[in-house]
Structures are given as C-alpha cells and as structure tokens.
Structure 1
Amino acid sequence: MGRERRWFAVLVCLVVGAALTVAILGASDGGAPHGAASATAAPGDFVDILDVPAAKGEPPPPGPDASTGTVTVDCGRNEEEHYNEDNLVISPGLRGGAHHTHAYVGNLSTNARSTDASLAAAPTTCRGGDRSTYYWPVLRRTDRPGEHAYEKAAGHGNAGQILEPAEVRLEFGGNPVGKVVPMPRFLRAVTGDAVALTAGNDENVRARWGCASLPDRSTTRYPRCPAGDRLTRTLVFPSCWNGLDTAGPERTHLVFRATNGVCPADTFAVPELTVRLAYAAPEVGVPIALDSFPEQRHSPKTDHGMFVNVMTDARMAEVVDCLNTGRHCRK
C-alpha cells in the first residue's frame, strides 16, 4: 500500500511538472508555437470603411508666418528585405528587444547595436544620400505561412506572410503657425503606442488606418476596403523639440504640437515627419494582423513607428529652407 502511494505521488508530480512546462513555454511565446500561424486580431478590430464617418470641416488656414512647404524623401519600399526584431530607439543594445518584426527603409545597417557613428557610415536606400532610419512593425496575412526566414523569426504569436507595401511615402512638413528650425542630427523619434491595448487609454494612439479611395475617412481599426483599393497606414511623428536632447525617457525631448499647430512652451517646431504606407487591399474576410507584443493581440491601435535623423547638417538646412519658403521639394 505504501509503495502504491509513493508511485501515485510520483505520477502526480510528473503531471504537474509537465503542465507547468507547457504553461511556461506557451507564455513565453504568446501561447502559440514559435513560428506557427496564430489567430488574427479580434473581429471587433475590423470595420467596413463605408461605416467610418467622413471627416467634417476643413482644417484652419495656416497663419501668416506658417511654414507651408513639403519635402518628400524617396527611400524605396524595403526591396532589400531589411527586417529584424530590434528597436534601436526604445531598446538600444538589446537584440530581439521588440519581440516582433520591424521593416526598415533608409539606413541599411540599423539594428539594436547601431551607434551614431555606424549609422553615419552606413549605406542607405534613400535617393540623395539620406542615411536616416525609418521603421515600423510589419503587417501579415495570417492564413498564409511565412516562407522566408525573416517571416518566421519573430515568434511570440507573430506569424504568417508579411505583406509588402505597394508604396512607402516619407514626407516632412512645416508648422501651420510658424517657421521650423533644424532637427539635430541623431534625433530619435517615436509615434504611436506599442502597448495601447493594455494601456487603459488611447492617449498615445497616433496611427490612422484607411483606404486610398476614401482619404477623408480614417480609423484606429483595420479597414475593409473596396475591391481593387489600397489599405493605408499613416504615422505622424511629434515635431516640437525641447532644444536640448536627441533622446530621452518618456519621449519628453520631442512632443506633439497642438491641433492648431502651437508647440508647448519651451519647445521649438522642427520638420514634421509623416510616413504613409499603402498595401493592395486584402479581400473581405482575409485575416490580417499587425506584429505586436503577445498581450496586445495584434490590435491595430498598437501601430507605431520610429525614426532616427541621420541627415547631414547641410541636408537638414535644405529641408528647413524648403519648408519655410513654402516650396514642394523632393530629396
């Protein structure tokens, strides 16, 4: 009888140990096997673009001292397949710190271990030699398995075929109430909130989703677009600099302007970067998912982007001059 009890106790320990192992492995990878296709975003994260109301009214006209120019930078669409799970701006030095895959244009060397010196010496995809780095989380079709190594590298519940954008548009704008000053070289910038689903509020949700044929409608959900249309993501970056730092905790060195264009006290307006991504719109019912942290469940609200300014001072001066004189330039 005693021997049977001992064997029963051993069996219980083995079962409990196995259950704990499974739980730990699941938690470490978002509850899904590494590299396996995972569930897409929740059904409530999708909306028919025709159900999204159009924006009302026109923006206020720019003031007499506004910097009304634009500068478009052509850095391609990541044809070079520059992907990794790093985040130089948020987690410098930490390989795989993003826990999801980012796509890059511009500086071809960017990873967690990049330094100002290595970025300044690296090749770039941008015409005209801009060595800045621009990056964002990838968008996937989760009903199709990834075939390439970079599609399978992220894990943590991020899996499926990476959708390649049909267009990547990088545009710097001015300020609607005044002139802009140059960004300092190696300025770090972030837009959006990678933990928006669990943040408790939408204060830092910045990305807007839409369809190219209906530019007056935008949403924080994944839009279902008309057949033959393009799905769009728009990321607008903060443009009020504290005049001191190129990086800082809690994003205090670079903040957003007010809706009317006014920057907070003791900050200076710098060129405002907007990244626009466009994809061939998936057919209705096709599951798509933004790469995210496991607990964020691929929410479209977690869309975000990063930028490091590696323009030379001379090139940045050209950008500022174009904006402040109201011209429309391509660099």
Structure 2
Amino acid sequence: MGRNTRKRSKTTGGKVMAAAAALTLGAGGLVVVNVYASAHESSGGNAVKRSSQGSSQGGTGQAAASEASTIDCPDVGNGLRQVPDQARAEVDKQLALLDTQISEAYQRLRSSTRALQQDGNFANNAIMGPLKDKRVATIDRIATAMGRAGDRPQGLESLAACTLRASGNQSDTGGNQSDTGDDQNGGQAGNGPVAADFVDITTVQPNVTAPRMSQEASRGTFATQCGVNENKLYNSDNVIVAPGVDNGAHHTHDYIGNQANDAFASNDDFAAGETSCQNQGDKSSYYWPVLRLQDGTEEFDAQQQGGGAEGNTGRILTASEVTLEYVGNPGGKVVAMPKFLRIITGDAKAFTNGTANANAAWSCTGFEDRQLTDKYPVCPEGSSLVRTSKFQSCWDGQNIDSANHRSHVAFADPATGACPGGFKAIPQLVQRLVYDVDAPSLNDNGRSSPFYAVDGFPEQMHKPITDHGDFVNVFDEQLMNEMVQCINTGRQCQ
C-alpha cells in the first residue's frame, strides 16, 4: 500500500481538438437535468427543467438547490483528440486539477444543506460561481500549453460552466436530513447508492446474444492467471488518465499483474516491475475500482483523499475469483497488441457524461445471460456477484495511447466483428470478477442490510453505470505472439 515517488512517465500524443458542447447557467435560472433514467438513454435525451425560484443572475433558488444534488461539468478530457507531445505533461496536470475542483465543489455542496435551505443563491454564489472561475483559469492554462507547441485550440472556454443536476437519490432511512445531506443522498457516505440502484436479477430477462462467427473467425482463447490482489496493492492514482498526479482517480483501485503501477510509473518501470501473473512473460497491469460493502468498516483509507474523505467508505471486498481471458474476432484474424498499449473500458463519469462510453456489465453466477448496466444486481442465495469488463478490440495500428485515452482503440461491430476503417483487430481482453457478497435485501422501506458499491468520483454517486477497467499491455513479444497464434488457430491456451 506504500506510494512510489518515482518521477512521472512520458507519454505521447498529437495536435487536434474536437468541439464539445457545454451545459451553462442561463440567465433565466439554473438548468437541472432530471434523474438518470436508463443506461441506454443518451445524455442528449434527458429532460430538463428550470427552477421557478432562480434569480435573474442565474442563481439556484431553494427548490433547485434541494433537488439537484450532484455537479455536472463538461468533460474537457473527452474533447481532446490530440495534444502536442511537448504539452502533454502540463495538459495532464491541468485535467487532473479540473477533477479535483469538481470533487471539492461537490463536497462543499454535500456539507451545505442548511445554507442551501436558508439562502436560495448560496449554491450559485458560494459553489457554482467559484467553480466556474477556477475552471476558466485551468482551461486557459490547457489552451496556453497547447498553443505554445502548436495552434491554440479554440472554444475550450465554453466548457467551463457546470450545472447542478438531480441525482435521483432519495432518503432510504426515513430520518431527518443532516447538515451533510447523508439521509437525503443515501448510502453509508451520503452520496449513494440507494435502493433504486438495485434490482433482483431473477426479474431481469435474458439479454445477451453471441456474435455470429464467420468462417474466417479467430475462435481461440488465451487465459492468464494473475491472482485477485492478494498483495493488497491499492492506490487512488491513475497512470493512464493522470500520470504524475497523486490521487488522480479520486477513488481506490485494485491492482493485479504489474506491481509497479502508480501515478509515477514509466514504461521502463513497467518493464522492470514484478508481476503477480503465473506466466512471468505477462507483466501487464490490470486495475479497476474497488468494490466496498458499506458496513461502517474503517479501511486504511478511511481518512484519506480517494477513500473516505471523498465518500468512498466501507470494507474493501476482494474478489473471490478473477478471470482474464483474451478472445478472438468473429470476422477474422487478430494481430499482436503493441507493448505498453493502454486501454480504458467504460466511463468513470458516465452518470454525468452520459452513456456514450459506458460499458458496465453486472450480473450473478447462474444468470450471466442477463447483464445490467445501470443497476446493481441482487443475487439469490447461492449465487455470487459478477462484474464483467470487455475491452476494445480494434487498434489504430499506430498509437499506444491518445489524448482522450479512447481514440486509438475502438470496439468492433458486435454483429460482424468489423473494425472501423484503418483499425486492426487485436485480442480482446475479457475481465470477469466474482464476489461472494450478500446483496442488500430490499423492501418498500429501502434496505435491511448494507449496500455494496463501486468506488468512484464523489459526484458520480456510486452509480453502477460508472464501473470501468484499465489495462496496460506489458506482455513480452514472444508471449504476445504465442497468444495471437493460439487465438488465430482456434486453440484454448494459457
């Protein structure tokens, strides 16, 4: 659990920014997005409404402030397609600062219930306005850093304004609201989850279909055994999204495989690192947000940023089983992944970003033909909880990463296996985590046992749709080639 203080790694990138739309505080009142309805509903389809008590300067008003209980900011990182190499370190640093600013503003919102009730303009004047000012300055530093190395991007300033939005979390305790808002928001930490985030898996209809395999399909599989994090390697860093930044994830990760992974790990550190994988030719890093049982347990990070100080509380659950399997492509052969390729599947901010990059899949043993994206399953007796992450299986053939950490990889067409133009099929990592955890028994009054929840950014309310996984490929060349040959020839290997 110690923190490595090595210098940050160098990463690569390029030069273009894509436009993105911003949600703003309008003159007529605060725009508040309604409760998240479905994991399959696009963010653009959400209904909006305006506070009837908003001030003429765009203040919140008591009704809006009490209903809207999380903070929704445009994701600047998603809007960056390429960044000049010389600017990458500064841009990464400033993007991480934007996340910290949102986290701090959200924590201020949570601790201000009484002030919100007494002053209809408090949220705008004391929280949202200062947040926007900080974001304007930070986004300007991003644009300046990029401008020094190339063309200064235009339009980034439109991403500065944030909104309050309805979390959908209602009281499940029936008690009076506290100053921290715990009863209103639900969950051990006061920021989720709530009873409505859970569903009985036996009531879900089967929804999984297998892709149709062509004659050219690569049907083999390659499994690697890397343990379940018996070493208890945890930190709240994210070397892919926020290299060189302590607590860049604002939540705690489990790590298996490469044991050198922290915010400061370079490719050389990964290459020299030890691995928990049985086959020592696999030094890849596999990591994901921890799952916690909100039973009041004070973990090692109970008072730390990334842990209890940011709403991630309770007993960390270690998976009873972790399966890492690489599979082929239903439409053709696969090629080797480049060493140090980085892939993120899912979106840690999907509750506020919308579903474009969401890829959560929750289920129960014995019911894995039923996958949930926006609900946690309540498993029947004798059945265990399952988290499955399928990673992107198409690569652009050139880059091991991209400025938004997505553009260099893509998902294959689910029906045909076809990759986008210019992309090549690579082995697809399928990660399956099994937990022996008693799900809450739900009734009309909420719960009768503790909730479990995935760690996340505090403003994401521990919603199940925010589940995600991270991977850095550190297979040695010989073993990677063996994997490709195994998959392409239809064998089952490990």
Give your verdict on TM over 0.5: yes
Query: d(CA) in 2 for partners of 1:77 and 1:124?
Result: 12
Deviation at 1:91, TM superposition (A): 0.8
- Deviation string, structure 1 residues 107-126 (Cα, Å, up to 9, x no partner): 01100000000000011000
Partner of 1:324: 488
Partner of 2:409: 254
Partner of 1:163: 317
- Tell me, which stretches of 5 or more residues in structure 1 are unaligned? 1-23
Query: d(CA) in 2 for partners of 1:150 and 1:124?
Result: 24
Which secondary structure does the structure 2 equivalent of 1:86 belong to? coil
Query: d(CA) in 1 for partners of 2:255 and 2:398?
Result: 27
Q: Provide the TM-score with structure 1 as the length reference.
A: 0.87
Query: d(CA) in 2 for partners of 1:164 and 1:276?
Result: 13
Aligned residues: 302
Query: 1:108 and 2:259 equivalent?
Result: yes
Deviation at 1:51, TM superposition (A): 1.4
Partner of 2:432: 276
Deviation at 1:195, TM superposition (A): 0.6
Contact 1:171–1:275 at 8 Å: present in 2 too?
Answer: yes
Deviation at 1:30, TM superposition (A): 7.7
Structure of greater relative contact order (alpha carbons < 8 Å, 6+ residues apart): 1
1:175 to 325, 329, 337: 329
Partner of 2:355: 202
Which secondary structure does the structure 2 equivalent of 1:210 belong to? strand
Deviation at 1:101, TM superposition (A): 0.3
Query: d(CA) in 2 for partners of 1:138 and 1:110?
Result: 15
Contact 1:76–1:105 at 8 Å: present in 2 too?
Answer: yes
Partner of 1:125: 276
Query: d(CA) in 2 for partners of 1:272 and 1:150?
Result: 33
- Tell me, which stretches of 5 or more residues in structure 2 are unaligned? 1-102, 112-179, 181-186, 442-449
Which secondary structure does the structure 1 equivalent of 2:429 belong to? strand
Note closer, same or farther for the CA distance 1:87–1:25 as it changes in structure 2 (3 Å cut).
closer
Query: d(CA) in 2 for partners of 1:167 and 1:302?
Result: 21
Identity %: 43
Query: d(CA) in 2 for partners of 1:93 and 1:323?
Result: 36
Note closer, same or farther for the CA distance 1:29–1:223 as it changes in structure 2 (3 Å cut).
farther
- Deviation string, structure 1 residues 244-292 (Cα, Å, up to 9, x no partner): 1000023110111111211000000001001100001314333111111
Note closer, same or farther for the CA distance 1:187–1:223 as it changes in structure 2 (3 Å cut).
same
Note closer, same or farther for the CA distance 1:291–1:29 as it changes in structure 2 (3 Å cut).
farther
Contact 1:290–1:298 at 8 Å: present in 2 too?
Answer: yes
Task: Name the structure with the higher strand share.
Answer: 1
Query: 1:302 and 2:457 equivalent?
Result: no
Which secondary structure does the structure 1 equivalent of 2:222 belong to? strand
Q: Let me know the Cα RMSD of the aligned residues.
A: 1.9
- Deviation string, structure 1 residues 169-189 (Cα, Å, up to 9, x no partner): 101001000000000000000
Contact 1:108–1:123 at 8 Å: present in 2 too?
Answer: yes
Query: d(CA) in 2 for partners of 1:238 and 1:279?
Result: 24
Query: d(CA) in 2 for partners of 1:302 and 1:146?
Result: 23
- Deviation string, structure 1 residues 114-164 (Cα, Å, up to 9, x no partner): 0000000011000111110000001111123134x2465323111110111
Structure 1 counterpart of 2:407, which letter? T
Partner of 1:141: 293
Structure 2 counterpart of 1:188, which letter? R
Q: Provide the TM-score with structure 2 as the length reference.
A: 0.59
2:392 to 238, 242, 252: 238
